[in-house]
Amino acid sequence: MFGLSFQQLIIQLHVFSTLLMTGVVWHMQVVHYPMFLVFKKEDGVRATEFHRQRTGYLVMPVMVVEFVTAVLLTSSSWMMLYGNFLWLNLMLLVLIWAITFLRHVPRHKRLSESFEPDTVHALVRANWVRTLLWTLRSILLIRFLG
C-alpha cells in the first residue's frame, strides 16, 4: 500500500493523463484523421508518416503514465472501497491499448507505406470506439472524484 499523499498524486496524474488523452483522441477523430482525406495520394504517405512520428512523441508518454497509474491504483488502499470501479477503469484502458496496438498502429503503418483513402475511412470509423471509451473513462473518473 502507498501513503495517502502518494495515492493522491497517482490519482491526479491518472485523471490528468486520461483527460488529456480524451482531448487528443477527440481532436484526432473530428479534425486530424478527416484532414488526411484532403491530401493528394502522393502527399498522403509523407503526411501520415509525419503524423505517426510526431503524434507518438506526444501520446506515448501520456499513455504510459495513464497505464502505470491505472495499475498503481489497483494496488492502493482505495481498492477496499472502490475496487470494482478501479478494475473497470483498468480493463477499459487495456481495451483501448489493445485496439490501439492491434488495429490503429497497423493502419497507420499501412498509410505511411501506401496512402489509400479507404484506409483513412477505416481509421476514422474504428477510432470512434477509442474516442467513446476514453470519453466514458473520463466521465467515470470525474464522477469518481466528485
pTM of the model: 0.92
The answer to whether 21 and 63 have CB atoms below 8 angstroms apart is: yes
pLDDT digits (tens, 9 = 90+) for 67-125: 999 999 998 888 788 889 999 999 999 999 999 999 999 999 999 889 999 999 999 99
pLDDT at 143 over 70: yes
What is the C-alpha separation between 116 and 45, in angstroms, rounded? Answer: 9
Q: Return the domain boundaries, the chain.
A: 4-145
What is the C-alpha separation between 77 and 74, in angstroms, rounded? Answer: 8
Which residues are CB-contacts of 25 (< 8 A; sequence separation ≥ 6)? 127, 130, 131, 134
Residue 1: the pLDDT is 65
pLDDT digits (tens, 9 = 90+) for 37-65: 998 888 888 888 899 889 999 999 999 99
What is the C-alpha separation between 120 and 111, in angstroms, rounded? Answer: 8
96: number of Cβ within 10 Å: 22
- Phi (first) and psi of residue 2, to 5 degrees: -105, 160
What is the C-alpha separation between 129 and 136, in angstroms, rounded? Answer: 10
**Type of residue numbered 145:** L
pLDDT digits (tens, 9 = 90+) for 118-130: 999 999 999 999 9
- Give the pLDDT band (50/70/90) at residue 2: confident
What are 61's three cell numbers?
Answer: 508518454
pLDDT digits (tens, 9 = 90+) for 12-25: 999 999 999 999 99
Residue 96: the pLDDT is 98
